[in-house]
Structure 1
Amino acid sequence: MKARLVQDGIFTLVEDITLTIEPPQHGFYWIDADVEDLEILQPLFHLHELAIEDVLTEEEQRPKIELYDTHYFIVVNSIRFDDEEIFLRALNIFLGKHYIITVTRTKINEIRTLKPVLWEEEVTMPDQFLYHLMDLIVDNYTNVGDRIEAKIEKLEEDILMHTKKSHLNEIISLRSEILWLKKVLVPQREVIATLNKKELKLISEPLKKYFGDIYENAVKIAETFDTFRDLMGNLREAYQSSLANRANEIMRVFTALTTIFMPLTFITGVYGMNFEYVPGMHWHYGGVVALLSMVVVGVSMFILFRKKDWL
């Protein structure tokens, strides 16, 4: 657990956590804590027991906002995409008048990248901190969306060029990830809508319009993932069509080869009969002529099929 006094974007480390109980003359306290640290923080800040229970018992939490008398409890999900799987990490936030507490089970990249933003914007209020943190989280969803779109385009190109059985597993896996993520985007969007539209005493009035901008981005992201879901359906149809076309190509080749060998089989069948008087049977060059005839017929049919694009 690390406690910092934030004044105009400048951080000052606070060694004694009990000093954060009283409001500072200027700025606010940011406490970056682990789940285990809540045993210390709950009695100090009188954090609601239901919120504490949610953090302690649920590793994967649905995005939500709960309003209490002295503080708000907000849950949002940070996203990470490693090209194979989408990971969501719950970020628990306790927002008070002079403090903000962030609680995570694992390290979240947005918290690390937030520090230079706070310094650049000279943040001095906890609701401003919350705004910039939410903005980074939503922007990261946009970045992940761009990467997913690029992966869908590459997958589509690979399917059209060289269809493989592994492509179907990739389609099913990515589609399930997108559908799962859609279930998170809706409640997270509603959390941002609450910060934007509802009368909240811990959110300053001028800041609400900025939350409105985040909300618009969240709506666009949800719509984007709706599009991804439709694209995955189209991608599966393209995969099945490609397999069907590939099977047709193979069958066409086999049919052409079979057709080529049909006259050759006829010739060998004629000269394989057990009649005494077969034309050319006792001719010295009969075997050579038969072989040459089969070669000429086979090559001629092959050239004809190639010219008609059957092979």
Structure 2
Amino acid sequence: MTRFITKQKHTKHVIPGNPIFVGNQKEENTRIRLIGYDTNTIAEVELQTVSELSDYLNKYEKIWINIDGLHDVKLLGEVGKLFTIHTLVLEDIANTGQRPKVDIGEDYIFTSIKMMFLDEKIHRLEAEQISMYLTKNILITFQEKQGDIFEPIRERLRNKKGRVRNYNITYLKYCLLDLIVDNYNFLMETFGEKVEDLEDKILLEPNKDILAEINKNKIELNYFRKAIRPAREAISNFKDFKTDLISKKEQPFFNDLQDLIQRSYDLVENYKNMLSEQLTVYSTNVNNRLNDIMKILTIFSVVFIPITFIAGIYGTNFEYIPELTYRSGYFVMWGVILFTVVVMLGYFKYKKWF
């Protein structure tokens, strides 16, 4: 199954604006959760249908709706109808291969970004698409699967920590994006430790396992770069677009977000270059070791070629050869041959030539 490309065969010949789920279904059922809050109050509910949302829209000053599961296109259509979301935006939400982007309209901000995860068992990166649709007092987030990635933000809302309850709903969106970008930095630090640990291994014992680890890290880093590069471009748009949904008080936070993701991108580029250099060092070390091996084998050859030459001319056809009278001389000869082979193979193994 490809990770770098999400196949778009289901969207072929489909009229633009008709949402079609593209990707792998990660949830059996879709879940709808709502958090309504203001400075003094907060309420959390889990709903069964989109129509139930209407009962809560005018009850709270700020509303965060989270939808887990993107495979139910009918449900997405109902959400789009309720909140007058453009069908092209719904199409982007349903397409899990969508490139990270920011689309700012007159009364909404739509953001699509990748949340990255590291499978510790196999040291493999996985991505989940997160879409956010922001209006004046409502934030709708769409996730591919249920998870607790935003649970720290929910805890801050419940316990009234930080500014999130006092600021408007745009600040909540910033908090979610900040959590995703912070995770980028955490993953890069984790990868960085592994990449830097390879430095000494390459110099001390360059072998096929080290080469495989370098190549694996290069693949994972390229996969990470595929997500973070367009995300950096998208987040930079918050500085360029002018919208009433981002106030002067909140703009500095989005500017700081751009600095954070730039740091992640710089780390990706640095470790990408470091891995390329490690591959060069590995190749150089292997070539040097090969040259050393060839030098020693050449010495052996130089020593034994004259001996072989002399034996080839005169042979061993002398009249007095003591071993000819030995009853087991033939087997002794084979013993010496085998012993010589074993000793030489043992020496090569000791020197790690194979």
Could you tell me which residue of structure 2 aligns to residue 159 of structure 1? 202
Provide the secondary structure at the position in 2 that maps to 1:33: strand
Q: Does 1:176 align with 2:219?
A: yes
CA distance in 1, matches of 2:229, 2:41: 35
Q: Does 1:45 align with 2:83?
A: yes
CA distance in 2, matches of 1:77, 1:55: 12
Q: Does 1:76 align with 2:113?
A: yes
Contact kept? 1:33, 1:104, Cα under 8 Å? yes
Could you tell me which residue of structure 2 aligns to residue 33 of structure 1? 67
CA distance in 2, matches of 1:9, 1:52: 33
Of 76-85 and 87-96, deviating more is 76-85
CA distance in 1, matches of 2:41, 2:209: 51
Residues 199 and 228 (structure 1 numbering): CA distance in 2 closer, same or farther, change over 3 Å? same
Could you tell me which residue of structure 2 aligns to residue 137 of structure 1? 180
Task: Give 1:42's aligned amino acid.
Answer: G
Matching of residues 117-128 of structure 1 within 5 Å: 117-118=156-157, 119-124=160-165, 125-128=168-171
CA distance in 1, matches of 2:134, 2:282: 49
CA distance in 2, matches of 1:10, 1:237: 60
Aligned residues: 285
Could you tell me which residue of structure 2 aligns to residue 54 of structure 1? 92
Contact kept? 1:114, 1:133, Cα under 8 Å? yes
RMSD (Å) for aligned C-alpha atoms: 3.4
CA distance in 2, matches of 1:72, 1:103: 14
Matching of residues 289-300 of structure 1 within 5 Å: none
Residues 235 and 107 (structure 1 numbering): CA distance in 2 closer, same or farther, change over 3 Å? farther
Could you tell me which residue of structure 2 aligns to residue 13 of structure 1? 44
Provide the secondary structure at the position in 2 that maps to 1:199: coil
Provide the secondary structure at the position in 1 that maps to 2:161: helix
CA distance in 2, matches of 1:68, 1:9: 31
CA distance in 2, matches of 1:117, 1:263: 84
- Match 2:237 to one of 185, 188, 194: 194
Please state how far the C-alpha of 1:70 moved relative to its aligned partner. 3.1
Could you tell me which residue of structure 2 aligns to residue 301 of structure 1? none
Could you tell me which residue of structure 2 aligns to residue 206 of structure 1? 249
Task: Give 2:57's aligned amino acid.
Answer: I
Q: Does 1:65 align with 2:99?
A: no
Residues 132 and 272 (structure 1 numbering): CA distance in 2 closer, same or farther, change over 3 Å? same
Task: Give 2:85's aligned amino acid.
Answer: L
How big is each residue's C-alpha offset from its partner over 1:174-230, in whole Å with a ceiling of 9 and x where there is no partner? 223323433432321232222234221111211101111111111222122111221
Please state how far the C-alpha of 1:102 moved relative to its aligned partner. 0.7
Please state how far the C-alpha of 1:243 moved relative to its aligned partner. 1.4
CA distance in 2, matches of 1:128, 1:102: 14
How big is each residue's C-alpha offset from its partner over 1:106-153, in whole Å with a ceiling of 9 and x where there is no partner? 235531232234441152321111111111111111111111111111
CA distance in 1, matches of 2:56, 2:76: 14
Contact kept? 1:60, 1:89, Cα under 8 Å? no
Contact kept? 2:102, 2:234, Cα under 8 Å? yes
Of 104-113 and 200-209, deviating more is 104-113
Provide the secondary structure at the position in 1 that maps to 2:115: strand
Contact kept? 2:57, 2:63, Cα under 8 Å? no
CA distance in 2, matches of 1:199, 1:193: 12
Task: Give 1:47's aligned amino acid.
Answer: I
Provide the secondary structure at the position in 2 that maps to 1:157: helix
Task: Mark the runs of 5 or more structure 1 residues left unpaired by the alignment.
Answer: 282-311
Contact kept? 1:78, 1:108, Cα under 8 Å? no
Task: Mark the runs of 5 or more structure 2 residues left unpaired by the alignment.
Answer: 1-31, 324-354
Task: Give 1:93's aligned amino acid.
Answer: M
Q: Does 1:106 align with 2:137?
A: no
Could you tell me which residue of structure 2 aligns to residue 230 of structure 1? 273
Task: Give 2:162's aligned amino acid.
Answer: E
CA distance in 2, matches of 1:164, 1:10: 61
CA distance in 1, matches of 2:250, 2:290: 60
Question: What TM-score does the superposition give when structure 1 sets the normalisation length?
Answer: 0.78
Question: What TM-score does the superposition give when structure 2 sets the normalisation length?
Answer: 0.69
More helix per residue: 1
Task: Give 1:2's aligned amino acid.
Answer: R
Contact kept? 1:23, 1:98, Cα under 8 Å? no
